[in-house]
Amino acid sequence: MTKGAASRGPFSLMSDNPRKYFEDFRVGDVIHCGRKTVTKDEIIDFAEKFDPQPFHLDEAEAAGSKFGGLVASGWHTCALCMRLVVDAMLKGSANMGSPGVENIRWVKPLRPGNIVSATVRVVEAVPSKSRADRGRLKFAFELTEEAEGLIMEMLATAIYARKPAA
Amino acid sequence: MTKGAASRGPFSLMSDNPRKYFEDFRVGDVIHCGRKTVTKDEIIDFAEKFDPQPFHLDEAEAAGSKFGGLVASGWHTCALCMRLVVDAMLKGSANMGSPGVENIRWVKPLRPGNIVSATVRVVEAVPSKSRADRGRLKFAFELTEEAEGLIMEMLATAIYARKPAA
- Specify the CATH number for the domain of residue A115: 3.10.129.10
Say yes or no for a CB contact (<8 Å) between A49 and B90: no
Say yes or no for a CB contact (<8 Å) between B102 and A105: no
C-alpha distance from B75 to closest chain A C-alpha (Å) = 6
pLDDT over 90 percentage in chain A: 83
- Contact predicate B76/B109, CB 8 Å: no
CA dihedral A39, B44, A56, A52 (to 10 degrees): 150
Residue A90 lies in a domain: yes
Which helix H or strand E contains A120, and what residues bound it?
strand A115-127
Tell me which chain B residues have a C-beta less than 8 angstroms from the C-beta of A102. Answer: 102-104
Span A13-42, average pLDDT: 86
Portion 6-65 of A in contact with B at CB < 8 A: 11, 13, 46, 49-55, 61, 65
Distance CA A108, CA B101 (A): 14
B65: Cβ contacts below 8 Å, ≥ 6 apart = A96, B54, B55
The yes-or-no verdict on residue B112 having pLDDT over 80 is: yes
Residue A91: its pLDDT value, please? 86
Report yes or no: A101 at the B interface, CB cutoff 8 Å. Answer: yes
CA A87 to each of CA B67, B83, B86, B102: distance values in angstroms, whole numbers, following the listed order: 21, 26, 30, 25
Residue B114 lies in a domain: yes
Span B64-74, average pLDDT: 94
The yes-or-no verdict on residue B20 having pLDDT over 90 is: yes
Residue A8: its pLDDT value, please? 31
Distance CA A123, CA A102 (A): 13
Residue B42 lies in a domain: no
**Residue range(s) defining the domain that contains residue B116:** 22-37+72-161
Distance CA A64, CA A70 (A): 10
Distance CA A24, CA A155 (A): 19
Span B22-27, average pLDDT: 96
Distance CA B97, CA A66 (A): 9
Number of domains in chain B: 1
C-alpha distance from A67 to closest chain B C-alpha (Å) = 9
Residue B132 lies in a domain: yes
pLDDT digits (tens, 9 = 90+) for B37-66: 999 999 999 999 999 999 999 999 999 888
Report yes or no: A123 at the B interface, CB cutoff 8 Å. Answer: no
Confidence of residue B14 (pLDDT cuts 50, 70, 90): very low
The three-class DSSP label of residue A36 is strand
Say yes or no for a CB contact (<8 Å) between A97 and B66: yes
Confidence of residue A6 (pLDDT cuts 50, 70, 90): very low
Residue A12 lies in a domain: no
pLDDT over 90 percentage in chain B: 83
Distance CA A101, CA B74 (A): 10
Mutant choice from A11, A17, A50 vs B, greatest count of B C-beta within 10 A: A50
pLDDT digits (tens, 9 = 90+) for A78-135: 999 999 999 999 988 999 999 999 999 999 999 999 999 999 999 999 999 999 999 9
Residue A28 lies in a domain: yes
The yes-or-no verdict on residue A12 having pLDDT over 60 is: no
Residue A87 lies in a domain: yes
pTM: 0.89
Confidence of residue B1 (pLDDT cuts 50, 70, 90): very low
Residue B138 lies in a domain: yes
Residue A104: its pLDDT value, please? 98
Q: What is the Cα Rg of chain B in Å?
A: 18
Identify which of A4, A45, A44 has the alpha carbon closest to the alpha carbon of residue A24: A4
pLDDT digits (tens, 9 = 90+) for A58-69: 999 999 888 999
Span B80-94, average pLDDT: 94
pLDDT digits (tens, 9 = 90+) for A47-58: 999 999 999 999
Report yes or no: B83 at the A interface, CB cutoff 8 Å. Answer: yes
Residue B165: its pLDDT value, please? 81
Q: How far from each other are the two terminal CA atoms of chain A, in whole angstroms?
A: 24
pLDDT digits (tens, 9 = 90+) for B119-159: 999 999 999 999 999 999 999 999 999 999 999 999 999 99
